[in-house]
Amino acid sequence: MANARDWIAIYLKGLAMGTADAVPGVSGGTIALIVGIYERLIAAVTAIDPDRIVRVLSGVRASGRADARVAFREVDGAFLAVLGAGIGTAVVLVLTLVDALLAAAPVATYGFFFGLIAASAVVLYGAVDLETTGRKVAAVCGFLAAFLASGVAATALGHALPVVFLSGAVAVSAMVLPGLSGSLLLVVLGQYEFMAGTLSAFLDATAAAAAGEGTAAIVGSAPPIVAFLAGGVVGLFTIAHAVRRALEAARAATLAFLVSLIVGALRAPVIEVSMRLAESGETWTSALPRFGLAAVVGAVAVLAVDRYAGVLEY
């Protein structure tokens, strides 16, 4: 039976995972490995199925509470709830900070992300085996998918609710995969800055409503957040399962594809900075020192994490 100290530890581990998930380039799954809860997390997530969900929900009736408690324990529900609370807390805090940084120093912020992504790719490629033709093809496909998407997503996809829903499904499913960052996929899809800004606006609106200024702003900012969370729930129990099955069936090829996604995604922060520079009239020549210095800081951060993680593996 876990005591209060154990639950606080799980919450703090959730904070660490959420902090990693909220910045492109570092994976919450990697942090789960470092802090020793990865296997428990995967077991809990994969234990959730429609039957157990129905059994848990049946607990609203007195006659179903005993079975609901059993089903809740079968999916390690208390662990997921406390861990999820920690992750959610960190994501809210970090994305609020990132929204402010993107407004104040977009070049340096995206440079930091570039360094995170580049160092993650370097670290993870040490575990990639490209000896067969199939694995090389998988790696090329992964690279092209992220590289091409990074070029068009920011302007072509927009931020309609179906796009936000899909982005949530893709990003949250990556949470359980060491090395692959959900926030990185949001950058590739052109949704990262939008969601950071939307979350910040929602929190401001909530604070205003609490001060008696009305709820109109909450109603306006809530739909994208609801769509993203709904997509995340769907993705966690569909895409994540599909990727896990792919890793079991063709581990080396799937790993090559996923890591190559990270390499192709290096284009995304460069595209974002280029768009900002075009708006401000600044040139890459003057912006490059800020971008490069921030990239070095980001790379050092990932290498420091890797030093404590050892060899990052799926």
- What token pair was written down for 41? 């997390």
State the virtual CA torsion across 4, 48, 189, 263 in degrees, nearest 10. Answer: 80
How far apart, in whole angstroms, are the C-alpha atoms of residue 177 and residue 244?
A: 8
Question: Any idea where the domains of the chain sit in the sequence?
Answer: 4-309
Give pTM, 2 decimals: 0.79
Q: Give the other-Cβ count within 10 Å of 124's Cβ.
A: 26
DSSP string for 124-162: HHTT----SHHHHHHHHHHHHHHHHHHHHHHHHTTT-HH
How far apart, in whole angstroms, are the C-alpha atoms of residue 166 and residue 230?
A: 9
How far apart, in whole angstroms, are the C-alpha atoms of residue 305 and residue 301?
A: 6
Predicted local confidence at residue 311, as pLDDT:
44
Name all contacts of 47-52 with Cβ < 8 Å and 24+ positions apart. Answer: 47/74, 47/75, 47/76, 48/75, 48/237
Q: Can you tell me which residue has the tokens 């490209």? A: 130
Whether the per-residue pLDDT at 171 is higher than 50: the answer is yes
Whether the per-residue pLDDT at 112 is higher than 70: the answer is yes
Predicted local confidence at residue 312, as pLDDT:
43
How far apart, in whole angstroms, are the C-alpha atoms of residue 77 and residue 45?
A: 9
Q: Can you tell me which residue has the tokens 């890591």? A: 259
DSSP helix/strand/coil, 289? helix
pLDDT, tens only, 50-108: 888 889 888 888 888 889 999 999 989 999 999 999 998 998 898 889 888 988 999 99
pLDDT, tens only, 72-82: 999 899 999 99
Mean of pLDDT values over 256-272: 87
Whether the per-residue pLDDT at 185 is higher than 50: the answer is yes
How far apart, in whole angstroms, are the C-alpha atoms of residue 309 and residue 32?
A: 10
Whether the per-residue pLDDT at 313 is higher than 60: the answer is no
